[in-house]
Amino acid sequence: MTHKVFIDGAVGTTGLEIAERLTGRAEFELIVLDEARRKQDAARAEALNAADFVILCLPDDAAREAVAMIANLHTRVIDASTAHRVAAGWTYGFPEITGRDAVAGALRVSNPGCYSTGFIALLAPLVRAGLLPADWPYTCNAVSGYSGGGKALIARFEADGDIAWRGYALNLGHKHVPEMQALSGLAHAPLFTPAVIPAHRGMVVEIPLPLGAMAGMGPGKGPGMGSTDAFRAALTEFYAGSPVVSVSQEPPADGELLLRASMEPWDGLELHVLASADGSQARLVAGLDNLGKGASGAAVQSLNLMAGLDETAGLRL
């Protein structure tokens, strides 16, 4: 069976990479509008309603408008914007966290944010298992390739070769924070400090844990606390059998993790649990491609499940 897919916003970075992952796949037929028609509401509405699956790669307001144009009960939507990530009636498109069956059966799926993917992947399983408290004020430090910032940011980075680091969301109002809090089951919004570096793609997300202070009685001895070995074991069990998420069992031999500017497209997600010698401090670290599992790869994974296909079809793993 061939499924008709319309990517609304197909000329943006996320849309282009989704289309690349669908190219040559007989399971899908892309509905494509030419340059003039893709900006016409009537043409877009026709495509939105003719499709079996719609993938929205649009700004938030435009994504809401696109959903409102759908006048039938069969067109299923994956929204890569922020508009619906914590909205009622939408399923969060992180199958490893929300469940593959939930994503497979959903009419409306919100694609996770790139930073949120790393944060939630690390923290949600440990909070659910009672190994970390839900009411701790967590912090999250992260760096990303500049491609996640859209065409304007890409142009600025590529035009100015002197930028080495760009900190942003300095007002602490980053749009990913609501989903990070909600999907991890936290009582408090995390303090999130993102930055962009001069690499086209790639991302590292870190959650530092002062375990001694968190337990109040030394590492691993307070209520709702666990050891770093327990964290690693719990994450390994949680993602057992996942073809996308892996958990490193040993710290890097040289004590370093690298994010290379030459990174190739990748749809996987690698998690690390790192600890101080006395166990009083830990670092939970996620490595991913912000355009892969952090955007386009995640959308294709959800699309595969919704279409009843192998979730890894077309992915770069």
> Does any domain span residue 97?
yes
CATH label of the domain that carries residue 217: 3.30.360.10
Cα 36 from chain centroid (whole Å)? 32
Q: Are 75 and 145 part of one and the same domain?
A: no
pLDDT digits (tens, 9 = 90+) for 50-96: 999 999 999 999 999 999 999 999 999 999 999 999 999 999 999 99
Question: Do 162 and 150 meet the contact criterion of CB atoms below 8 Å apart?
Answer: no
* Mean pLDDT of the region 95-106: 98
> Does any domain span residue 314?
no
Q: What is the pLDDT of residue 149?
A: 76
Cα 243 from chain centroid (whole Å)? 16
Residue where the block lists tokens 């996770």: 112
Q: Are 36 and 144 part of one and the same domain?
A: no
> Does any domain span residue 174?
yes
Q: Are 138 and 107 part of one and the same domain?
A: no
Q: Quickly state the pLDDT bin for 274 (edges 50, 70, 90).
A: very high
Q: Name the nearest CA neighbour of 295 among 49, 10, 57.
A: 57
Active site residues: 114
**What is the residue range of 232's domain?**
114-290
pLDDT digits (tens, 9 = 90+) for 217-244: 444 444 456 789 999 999 999 999 999 9
Q: Are 181 and 216 part of one and the same domain?
A: yes
Q: What is the number of domains present in the chain?
A: 2
Q: Quickly state the pLDDT bin for 305 (edges 50, 70, 90).
A: very high
Q: Are 269 and 152 part of one and the same domain?
A: yes
* Mean pLDDT of the region 249-253: 89
> Does any domain span residue 317?
no
Q: Are 105 and 118 part of one and the same domain?
A: no
Q: Are 133 and 106 part of one and the same domain?
A: no
Q: Are 98 and 127 part of one and the same domain?
A: no
CATH label of the domain that carries residue 302: 3.40.50.720
> Does any domain span residue 252?
yes
> Does any domain span residue 311?
no
Q: Are 86 and 126 part of one and the same domain?
A: no
> Does any domain span residue 80?
yes
> Does any domain span residue 51?
yes
Q: Are 176 and 256 part of one and the same domain?
A: yes
Q: Are 12 and 60 part of one and the same domain?
A: yes
**What long-range pairs does 180-185 form, CB within 8 A, spacing at least 24?**
180/113, 180/115, 180/116, 180/119, 180/120, 180/140, 182/86, 183/92, 183/94, 183/97, 183/98, 183/112, 183/116, 183/120, 183/124, 184/119, 184/120, 184/123, 184/124, 184/127, 185/124, 185/127, 185/128, 185/134
Q: Are 197 and 224 part of one and the same domain?
A: yes
Given a cut of 80, whether residue 151 has pLDDT beyond it is: no
DSSP-derived secondary structure for the chain: -PEEEEEETTTSHHHHHHHHHHTT-TTEEEE---TTGGG-HHHHHHHHHH-SEEEE-S-HHHHHHHHHH--SSS-EEEE-SSTTTT-TT-EES-HHHH-HHHHHT-SEEEPPPHHHHHHHHHHHHHHHTTSS-TTS--EEEEEEEGGGGHHHHHHHHHH-TT---EE--TTS--TTHHHHHHHHT-SS--EEEEEEES-SS-EEEEEEE-HHHHHSSSTT-STT---HHHHHHHHHHHTTT-SSEEE-SS--TTS-----TTPPP---EEEEEEE-TTSS-EEEEEEE-TTIIIIIHHHHHHHHHHTTS-TTTT---
